[in-house]
Homo-oligomer: A and B are copies of this chain.
């Protein structure tokens, strides 16, 4: 019993949580999304930066605009999920650093004055925040269906701009019956972790 986290929470977030490919009709509310964000916004990032941006695709019109940019195999579930979120990295996140990292406001220019450095940091830290977001969806008792199978340039043009790089699209909702594949294997501890 090396973990302090309650076993029910372990199951909810990791052990029994699964990537869902089919959902019930039950809506996902703005209140749920607000609660998820208010929890996972505290996940740590470098310099307290917050590059993650989320576009919630709620309207039928926006859903229609999204589908052609998804890989064909991802379209049916993206069409039928109660809510779809586009997760992107804001490559101009440094503008917020003086407010977000007040004990070293110079970080904005010292570390992120050049766009390539910003893009690298935005990608890494928005990916961390994307993982916290997935954990947060599960914390709300919902299933997430993250997907990287889409046309990045098309998605960027349709929903974002040149300063925002799409990372993933996440279907969100209550899982339907038979919503997932059988659990696939994971690497063993000794295949991943070595001690020196």
Binding site for B on A (CB under 8 A): 2-6, 8-10, 12-15, 17, 19, 29-44, 46, 48, 50, 52-59, 62, 96, 99-103, 121, 123-124, 127-132, 134-135, 138-141, 144, 146-148, 159, 167-168, 181, 184-187, 189, 192-196
Contact = CB atoms under 8 A, between A and B. Distances in A.
Contact of A2 (B34, B99, B144): B34
B31 A2 contact: yes
Nearest to A73: B104
Contacts of A43: 14, 131, 134-135
Tally of this chain's copies: 2
Contacts of A4: 12, 139-141
A57 B196 contact: yes
Contacts of A144: 44
Given A34-B2, A187-B41, A130 B132 contact: no
Contacts of A36: 2-3
11 contacts: A2-B31, A3-B141, A9-B139, A17-B42, A37-B193, A42-B186, A58-B196, A99-B185, A102-B185, A123-B124, A159-B196
A192 B50 contact: yes
Nearest to A31: B2
Nearest to A102: B184
B196 A55 contact: yes
A58 B196 CA distance: 6
Nearest to A8: B6
A72 to B, nearest CB: 14
Q: 9 closest Cβ contacts across the A-B interface?
A: A131-B131, A4-B141, A127-B127, A2-B35, A5-B139, A9-B9, A62-B196, A128-B131, A41-B186
Nearest to A135: B135
